[in-house]
Chains A and B, each alone.
Chain A
Amino acid sequence: MKRDNLLAAFKTAALVAAVGGLCLVLLPNYWIFLVTAVFIIGMSLQSLGLVVGRSGMISLCQMSFAGVGAWTVGYLNLIGFPGGLIVWMLIGGLAALPFGLIIGIPALRLRGINLAIVTLGFAVAFGVVLGTITYPGQTTFQMVQRPAGFDSDRGYFILVLIVYGISAVALEVVSRSRLGASWLAVSHSERAAASLGVSVPLSKLSAFAISSFIAGVSGGLLAGYMGTLLADNFSMMQSLVLFAVAIMVGAQFPLGAILGGILVALFPELLRRLNLPQDLGSVIFGLGAVQALSTGETMSETFGRLIRKMMPKRPAAGGGDETALPAPRPDTGAPNALQASGITVRYGNVVALNNASLSVPKGKVVGLIGPNGAGKSTFVDAMTGYLPRYEGDVLFQGDNINALGVTQRARAGLRRTWQTTRMAPDLTVGQYVDLASGGGLTDAEIAAVLDWFDCPPAGELIAAVDSGARRLLDVAGVVAARPPVILLDEPAAGQSYAEAVMLGKRIAEIPQRFGSSVLLIEHDMDLVRTACSEVTVLDFGTVLAAGPTAEVLDMPVVKKAYMGIDFEHEEAAE
């Protein structure tokens, strides 16, 4: 993983340097001037790609952030702030950052289209306000000073290239980090991300903050590029066009941002060369975007696919070594890992759980069984904090955690898996496990955990993993975190018999290998028999029986409740 990160960062840097070098060698001044704009717009697109492409939030005010950066640079230029454009630009980015946070706050409560329209409203209001503020220095003809040595067209191109390269490499590194993985996870499912201990608000705010910072810097670059600016540079329509371009090209990919920059910056030039009216650009852009979007993949994905086709396939990463499995975490000494007493949950008039109690002793795997609708998943939701309210107490390692939220419980070490997996398909298997484990694992340890559960190799994209393997991966991720308590919600559903038996054996070994206690919810009785030392039976929200597995499963009342309908049918048939 870590080596892959470095490699990817290096590849990005080399790509930018190569493209820039080629431009410098081949292009005359005028074209260098044009191509500079490609990279500046490319940077705005990168910033948008981060929010839209990675975090799944629609931002229609990206140019407003750039405007804040640009105007800040203008002021600093006017007052002759020391440090020159490079420093001003960074301050411009920092000035845009609070605006990103302000827009990020509604994102905590609003999603999808509602958030999009909030950002649109911001873009409109901001555009009007900015329109009334003359660009600093414009009335006195003070252009934004470029740094010494970078003041020519070629010089400024090199500066823009360097800044673009730094931001591209930084984004590449960040997006492969746990933070970047958390953006994808949150964008795919907030609940699932929270169950991994990811703080959803922090993830969203960080995405907006970093994005607005980059947009602010790109605005600063634009200020240096044009010398003076108008509010029209940052109007709502510009943001809207940028959004459409970002979706079209896939601005979250380094290649996509450059492609988008080329489309926006060079299309007018093409029309000039062909002697066509400029508004044709908007028309062709509109039609082209619709066409490109209708292919169902972004332009950079198309390019990437074509390039991969031509490249030889890399051999799959080798299996992990069992001895490399991460060591258990130190013990805290509480006798019961998890104790739930008197849990009652009501949905309106329906009582989903009625005074249910259960305990998960330390170092054990216990089962929770019951027919569909018995309240098993509701119980897991209550334990892990997903229910807005429940009665009763949840004691985690002896402490009452009723007051803690989902993320806090997950971080404390009360972890769960999902009946239907909710993993972000854009993550790699390795990234997912890294994110789920809470960090700190080496590549070898991750590979070992994956291997232990028979999961696909770390480099594989989750999108390419079948649903059975995703369940295993869900379990592997939780286990890799080695929390005190793991709640597994039907991990064997969809597995073959052999796989389920094998999984059962692995689950039984979890307490000893990883130091975690496990609550296993299953329908597969063989799996329960293999893995669980004790079992609790739920029926209609009430605990029917609890005790050692073999005894409980033989109780008639359990047989009737659990497979009751079948019995009655059989009796009736006889």
Chain B
Amino acid sequence: MDSLLTSAVAGLSAGGAYAILGVCVVFTFRLVAVVNFTATALGAIGAFVMVFLTEAGYPLVPAVLTGLVAGTLASVVVGFVTTIWFSGANQTVKAAVTAAILVCLIALGLRFTGGQHPRAFPDLVGGAGLRLAGVTITTASLVSIALAVILTVAVEQFLARTRTGLQLRALSERPMAAELLGVPVRPLALGVWAASGAMTTIALMLIAPLRSPDFGSLSLLVVPAFAAALVGMFQSFRAALAGGILIGVIEGLASGFVELAQYRSAVPFLVILTVLMWSQRGARWDEAR
């Protein structure tokens, strides 16, 4: 029992990372209706720009800011492609576009960051946050979780209460109608991409030191982020937040069972699937078509 609790708490560190990334993915999907396979790759670009600068001897703060700008810009570029070239395309085509861009970005990223050779990611908020069940929860993990919570609350309030929020919702649900109503579609969409790029970059800067510090692995963090978003059907920020932490905890728990062996990696997937199949038991038809 004790060791189970310990394993679960040990999973929190990953859970915080998945939660904030999951919330970022839902943010992009809710507001510009794109499932963004490149999300974490874009954040990784920003994080690696920061590392290159710190390795070149620049102080941390300007390096972080430059990285942030780089990640945001990269995100805006991908956003530009999906919103301008693919404004009329359906979800499947947009997903295919970001998947293709991901293949491209990983190849470029691995080349420019030196493949598997690790980078010395600086700890932005180093140190031990608190100790629970014999496990140190790092400040970075706590900050990730806190950021995810703040983001969830802030975005929910923003969407519900502000005029821009309303416009954004209109944009994602009926882009054509929104355009006809005079909503500034492109600037808003690019703004969403910029915001999600910046958030993902910050998240990756926090997460990277405790993950495999190579471009490929960091880019593929998009998979657990999607899994977290899936818990809320890509609609609910809170569910994505909870889902992310849940996945981390399940991963932690699964690590304690050697007998699960290679099937360990399938456990979070199965849990999510079960949750979804149950929560969607009433769903009968596709959207109003």
Contacts and interface: CB of A to CB of B under 8 A. Distances in A.
Interface of A: 52, 56, 58, 105-106, 109-114, 116-118, 120-122, 124-126, 128-129, 131-133, 188-192, 236-237, 240-241, 243-244, 247-248, 277, 279-283, 285-287, 289-290, 293-294, 296, 388, 422
A279 B103 contact: no
Given A190-B286, A279-B108, A289-B100, 9 more contacts: A109-B276, A114-B234, A125-B269, A240-B37, A244-B100, A279-B107, A282-B103, A282-B104, A293-B100
Given A109-B276, A293-B96, A128 B265 contact: yes
Interface of B is mostly: helix
Interface string B250-289: 0000000000011101100100110011001111111101
Nearest to A132: B262
A289 B35 contact: no
Contacts of A117: 35, 226-227, 229-230, 234
Contact of A285 (B91, B96, B100): B100
Given A121-B227, A296-B89, A286 B104 contact: yes
A122 B92 CA distance: 18
Nearest to A129: B262
Interface stretch (B11-19, B80-88, B145-153, B195-203): B80-88
Contacts of A52: 92
B106 interface: yes
Contact of A240 (B92, B99, B234, B265): B99
A230 to B, nearest CB: 15
B49 interface: no
Contact of B95 (A113, A124, A131): A113
A132 B99 CA distance: 26
B101 A286 contact: yes
Contacts of B276: 106, 109-110, 114, 118
Contact of B107 (A111, A243, A282): A282
Interface in B5-57: 29, 35, 37
B143 interface: no
Nearest to B272: A121
Interface in B207-250: 223, 226-227, 229-230, 233-234
Contact of B104 (A114, A132, A287): A287
B110 interface: yes
B173 to A, nearest CB: 14
B96 A289 contact: yes
Nearest to B100: A289
Given A109-B276, A243-B96, A247-B92, A129 B263 contact: yes
A56 B261 CA distance: 35
A407 to B, nearest CB: 11
Given A113-B95, A247-B93, A296 B100 contact: no
A125 B234 CA distance: 21
B91 A132 contact: no
A48 B284 CA distance: 25
B33 to A, nearest CB: 9
A58 B95 contact: yes
B194 interface: no
A122 B269 contact: yes
B234 A422 contact: no
B118 to A, nearest CB: 19
B103 A190 contact: no
Contacts of B29: 113
A403 to B, nearest CB: 15
A192 B85 CA distance: 31
A118 B100 contact: no
Nearest to B233: A114
Nearest to B265: A128
Contacts of A388: 282, 284
A139 B161 CA distance: 63
Contacts of B266: 125-126, 128-129
A409 B284 CA distance: 16
A121 B269 contact: yes
Given A128-B265, A247-B93, A290 B101 contact: yes
Nearest to B84: A294
Interface residues of B, number: 52
B216 to A, nearest CB: 9
Interface string B53-70: 000000000000000000
- Among A120, A237, A280, A388: residue with most chain B CB under 10 A: A120
Contact of A121 (B93, B105, B223, B286): B223
Contacts of B284: 388
B97 interface: yes
18 contacts: A106-B276, A111-B286, A113-B95, A114-B230, A117-B35, A124-B223, A125-B269, A126-B266, A128-B262, A188-B289, A189-B286, A190-B289, A191-B285, A240-B103, A244-B96, A277-B111, A293-B86, A293-B89
A290 B269 contact: no
A237 B103 contact: yes
Nearest to B82: A290
Nearest to A247: B96
B102 interface: yes
A131 B266 CA distance: 13
Nearest to B266: A125
- Among A121, A133, A285: residue with most chain B CB under 10 A: A121
A112 B91 contact: yes
Contacts of B104: 282-283, 285-287
Contacts of A126: 266
A242 to B, nearest CB: 10
Contacts of A280: 107
Contacts of B287: 111
A296 B262 CA distance: 42
A241 B103 contact: yes
A287 B85 CA distance: 13
Nearest to A187: B286
A106 B277 contact: yes
Contact of B86 (A116, A283, A294): A294
A570 B213 CA distance: 78
A146 B225 CA distance: 43
B262 A110 contact: no
- Among A110, A190, A237, A244: residue with most chain B CB under 10 A: A244
A294 B88 CA distance: 10
Contacts of B265: 124-125, 128-129
Contacts of A422: 289
Nearest to A298: B93
Nearest to A244: B100
Q: Which 7 A-B pairs have the closest CB atoms?
A: A286-B104, A282-B107, A289-B100, A125-B266, A247-B96, A132-B262, A121-B269
Nearest to A295: B85
A337 B229 CA distance: 49
Nearest to B101: A286
Contacts of A287: 104
B76 to A, nearest CB: 16
Contacts of B108: 279, 283
A244 to B, nearest CB: 4
B97 A293 contact: yes
